[in-house]
Amino acid sequence: MRSTISKKNSAHDFSSRRTATKTKSKYRGQNVGTDDVVRELVFLFDSLGLERSHLMDGVLSMGSSTGRAVRQAHPAITFSNLMTVWSQDPEYLDSLGNPMPIRLRGKKPSFTALALRCAPHADASKMLIEMKRLRAVKIDKAGLIHPQSRSISVFDDKRLAAQHTLTALHGFIGTLRHNLISESTNSNQLFHRIAVNHKFDADNLPRFKIWLKRHGQHFLESADNWMIRNAAAETGAKIDPKTCVQVTVGMYLATDRSSK
């Protein structure tokens, strides 16, 4: 393997980046497939000047239309968006500012109206069944739907877990590639910081997980609220569709003892 980036590779990096950006724009906000992740990973290796197998060339040469015509919005993203709107829109909040229980149909506020707002082409009844299965909502005896959490436990479902994993990898690799080809002092750099401790007592890991889950959830909800308040659709600002981007903020905890 090579550990340096040659001028030739650097030129290829910018070309690859433009190609990747153009490709990604075709399915922004949609499911990410294994080919997309491998393609981004190959581009990342090129940016780092690392050799890759010639077998990967086949991935880069695949037609852009392969497997993309039937893509649908990522279910977990749709569900999370719905839960976020439910917890932010005054029309769906009680006098204390908490998301209130709603009925499936009827005058606003209703789950059907909420689903239509977040996923215009989706079946509200099927969405409700899926969200109940994922324990995102519960239904009482009176038929009222109660929100349980703004986040969806995607790892309880193998299909959602696979989509979530690919989407996370695709976005994370894209951030690494973006920062590799832009100056470290450039304001165009995407935020990417990590905190590492090499002598962490494993006995403290359970408590740290609880601490991080609580504070991490609060931070992500704050970031989510900020994005919603400043989204073009919410502010009423006119924006060129070509300049719209999908923005993702994520956090993760990694250990070398996965059994803990």
Mean pLDDT over 234-244 rounds to 68
What are the percentages of helix, strand and coil residues in the chain, rounded to 5?
A: 55, 5, 40
Whether the model clears a pTM of 0.85, i.e. scores above it, the answer is no
- Mean pLDDT taken over the chain: 76
Mean pLDDT over 55-74 rounds to 53
pLDDT of the residue at 80 = 77
Residues 104-156: tens digit of each pLDDT: 998 778 999 998 888 888 889 999 998 888 888 999 999 999 998 777 777 77
Closest CA to 41 of 171, 173, 166: 173
**What are the boundaries of each domain within the chain?**
1-71+159-183, 75-152, 197-260
pLDDT of the residue at 181 = 86
pLDDT of the residue at 234 = 54
Cβ proximity of 79 and 127 under 8 Å = yes
Q: CA 77 to CA 88: how far, in whole Å?
A: 16
With a pLDDT cut of 90, the percent of the chain lying above it is 19
pLDDT of the residue at 101 = 94
Mean pLDDT over 176-188 rounds to 85
Is the pLDDT at 24 greater than 80, yes or no? no
Select the highest-mean-pLDDT range: 35-39, 117-121, 174-178.
174-178
Is the pLDDT at 64 greater than 70, yes or no? no
Closest CA to 123 of 192, 88, 61, 72: 72
pLDDT of the residue at 56 = 61
Is the pLDDT at 21 greater than 60, yes or no? no
With a pLDDT cut of 70, the percent of the chain lying above it is 74
Mean pLDDT over 19-27 rounds to 38
Q: What is the amino acid identity at position 112?
A: T
pLDDT of the residue at 20 = 38
